[in-house]
Structures are given as structure tokens and as C-alpha cells.
Chain A
Amino acid sequence: MNEDLRIIWRNFFNWVMGNGARPENEEIIPEAPPDLPFTQKQESRNSRFHELTLRERYSHWLEIHGLHLFSNVYSGMSVLICVVIVLLLLVTVAELPKFGSENNPANNEVMERYINSGGEETGAKNIVSGMILDYRAFDTFGESALLFTAAVSVLMLLAVSRRDSKNSPERLHKFSQDDSILRGVALLSIPVIVLLGCVVILNGHLKPGGGFSGGAILSAALIFAANAYGFGSVHKFFSERKFVIMISSALMIYALLNAWSFFTGANDFEAYISKGAIGNIFSAGLILPLNICLSLIVAGILYGFYALFSEEEI
């Protein structure tokens, strides 16, 4: 019994390590190693027998079936992971407080504080505007700086490196230069779009809207103009130099206004910023200029993204 077990174990060991007995009719493989350059490693093994080790057999098998197996396992695992995550999240959602209930833990004293004194302290009718551009103006400055950083990295990746290498693949998309319908519609609608953007920006502290959404509308007008009349006509009044100057000066003005209000607020100085009457267009202190700066940044950067991705330059 013990002997049988030992034989089985030895066979198994040989199968794994590749030290199986040499068949008698096979020629003996010479032991001398071939002349390998020193960068290639000589496979070290106790003695050269005819059988492959388990690892070698596995790697041979993997070379043939590996990619297929990998893609199958990958898809199966990703479906499994997605289903498990969705089920876990659904169980969590079922445990959340009731939708629309005022007893949600999210509706706590923070919200009460913003609503109770937001109108008096910021002068803004739109509490969200007062929150993001007055209480948390520094956070919004970080957001615009983030947008600026993204624009700079896209510029680095697309425009700057493409100036060196001219062998990029041809673009399939070409602008049709003579589209009278598009031009007519653009002539009619671009003023309306610009007007809507200005209304959204200037009413940011009174109505839903503000710098981000108004800037997105303005950039839509610019993109429309670029599509209808070609990038050349947009370049005439919005060149790369003006783009850089506009965005950086808007960021600087934002930072200075922010610094002024923080400096005076932290040191109890007189800020010389009148809050005005709630509901008037000239009210809410710094929120209106901050909104204008923000909208210039957003409009420039969104148009810059579009121009970079389609025309490879601003």
C-alpha cells in the first residue's frame, strides 16, 4: 500500500517536474548546451528527459488557446462584476430613506443654513448661485482652473505634438464650404443663441442658469458659426492669441475678485461691495462679475475643445 502510494506520488512528481523516464527507443539528447548569447537564459533543469514540465506544457497550451480563453474569462468576469455591483447597489438603494421625504439625512442643517441666511448674506435670489459663487467661490475657482488644465493638456496632446509630426492619418471629415441652408439658418439663429446665452449669464443670480450653462450656450453659438462659415471666419475675431488672453484674464479677474472678498471677509475689513436688493439685476455683490468671468472661461474652453478635436488648432 505504502509502495503503491510512493509510486503514484513519484509519477505525479515526474509529470509535474518533467523528469519522466526516457523511452528506450529514443536517442539520447546531448547534454551540451547550445551557444546562446548571454542575454538568453539557458533553461536550467536537473537532467534532460524527454518530458516537458507542467509549466512548459501550460505555456504551450496558453500560446494556442490563451487569447481566446482570456477574452472569454474577461467578458464573463466583467459581466459577473457588473451584476454583483448592481445587485449590491440595488440592495443598498432599497435600504435608503424614502424618495422625496424631508427626513432624508441629506436634508440637514447645512441646507437650512444656506436657505435661511443665503438670501441676506449673498443677496442672490438663486440660492444655488449664491452657494457656489459666494460661499464656495473658491471651489468654483478650482473647477474653472480644472477646465483650464484640461484645455491645456488637450492642447499639448493634439496641437503641439502635431506640429512636429506631419504624418498623421487623413481626416475623413471635410467641411462643405457651400451650404447655403446652414448659413441661412446660422444667420437667423446665432444672434438668438448669443442673446439667450447673455440672458442666462446675466440672470445667473436671479433665475436658473449662470456662468456654466450660459458659457455652454455661447460656445454652442461659436461652434455653430465655425460649422456654417468655416473656422477661418471665426479665427478673424477669435484667434488663438485672443483665446489665451481671454481665458487667462478671466481666470485672473476671477481670482482677484475672490481674493478681495476672502481677504476682506477674513480680516473684517470693509469690502465696498453692495449686495443690493434681492431680485434686482444689479444685486448679489460679486456674483454677477464672477458669472461673467466663468462664462467666458467655459465658452472659450468648450469652443477650444471643439476646434482642437476637429481642426487641430484653435
Chain B
Amino acid sequence: MFAKLVVNHYEAAAVIIFGIGLSNLLLQRNLIKKIIGLNIMNTSVYLFLAAKGYISGRAAPLLIQDAAGNWINDASVYVNPVPSGLVLTGIVVSLSVTAFALALTLRLYESYATLNIDEALLKMTREQEALEENLLQESDEDVLL
């Protein structure tokens, strides 16, 4: 298995980077660092796709001319162009998701003045409890009235 991993070292590296990003996403308490972990995961997927499209000893998918000046359109000359297009789509989606997540994080920071998810959750719970107590007191007053 290890020898096969050495042969497929690009994919193996992509998988390990994916694991680093996932553990970052799960273990970091800071929301910005969580988003960075998500981006590391995205990058590993691009690396994996680019590695799957590569064929050794072939040219990039830009048409080249032969000696007579004709464009060579033989599929055995170029690497696979399809994963490049897929990676482009992935980059756009990850950019949009990152921007949206960062905007949400900024709003959270404005509301709770912290980026730590534990502290923010604690503050949310306390807020909720205070709200419920207020409701209880109001209902008590209603009963008394």
C-alpha cells in the first residue's frame, strides 16, 4: 500500500491536506480559523482534481501547431481539460461560500464581541435564559393581575 501511495503521491498529499483542513475546521474554536480550515479543504480538492487530469509527458490543453502549421487535434497529445473546468467552478463556489461565511462571522462579532464559538454560544445561552426569565416574570405578573 505504501508503494502505491508513493506512486500516487499527489492524491495522497491532497488527502492529507484534506485531513488537516477538516481537523482545523473541527478543532479550532476561532471562527476565522475554522473558515481557513474550510479553505484548506477546498484547496486539497483542487489539487486532487488537477492530479487526476494530469497525463505524464503530454502538453497543456492549448492547441499546438505541427511543422506544417496545422493545428493538432489529437487527444493523445494533450492532458485532460475537463478537471480544469471543474476546478474553476470549485474556486468560484468556495470564494462565494468564504465571503458569505466571513460576513456572517463579522455580524456575529458585532453582536457578541467575540470570535470564539464557545464564548458566543455561552452568551447566546445566557441571553436566552434572561429572555425566558423575563417571560416568566411577565406571566407571573399576569397571574397576579
Contacts and interface: CB of A to CB of B under 8 A. Distances in A.
Interface string B81-120: 1111100110111011101101110110110010000100
B82 A153 contact: no
Contact of B73 (A37, A118, A168, A279): A118
B23 A79 contact: yes
B103 A154 contact: yes
Interface string A129-149: 001100010010001101101
Contacts of B66: none
A114 B81 contact: yes
A94 B85 contact: no
Interface in B115-145: 118, 136, 139-140, 143
B39 to A, nearest CB: 14
B73 A107 contact: no
Given A78-B23, A111-B81, A147-B92, A94 B106 contact: no
Given A82-B19, A89-B15, A115-B73, A128 B84 contact: yes
A93 B100 contact: no
Given A37-B143, A125-B62, A139-B89, A96 B81 contact: no
Contacts of B15: 86, 89-90, 93
Contact of B102 (A89, A93, A127, A309): A309
B18 to A, nearest CB: 7
A230 interface: no
Contact of A99 (B54, B57, B84): B54
Interface residues on A, range: 35 or more
B7 interface: yes
Contacts of A116: 73-75
Interface in B24-64: 26-27, 51-58, 60-63
Main secondary structure of the interface of B (DSSP, over half): helix
A125 B63 contact: yes
A16 to B, nearest CB: 30
Nearest to A86: B19
A131 B82 CA distance: 8
B92 to A, nearest CB: 4
B131 to A, nearest CB: 14
Given A116-B75, A126-B61, A154 B100 contact: yes
Nearest to A155: B103
Given A107-B55, A115-B78, A128 B85 contact: yes
A94 B75 CA distance: 27
Interface of B: 1, 4-5, 7-12, 15-16, 18-19, 22-23, 26-27, 51-58, 60-63, 71, 73-78, 80-85, 88-89, 91-93, 95-97, 99-100, 102-104, 106-107, 109-110, 113, 118, 136, 139-140, 143
Interface of A: 37-40, 71, 75, 78-79, 81-83, 85-86, 89-91, 93-96, 98-102, 104, 106-107, 110-112, 114-120, 125-128, 131-132, 136, 139, 143-144, 146-147, 149-151, 153-154, 157-158, 161, 168-169, 206-208, 212, 278-279, 305, 308-309
What are the nearest 9 A-B pairs in CB distance?
A: A150-B96, A100-B56, A86-B19, A78-B26, A127-B61, A112-B75, A94-B4, A157-B103, A82-B23
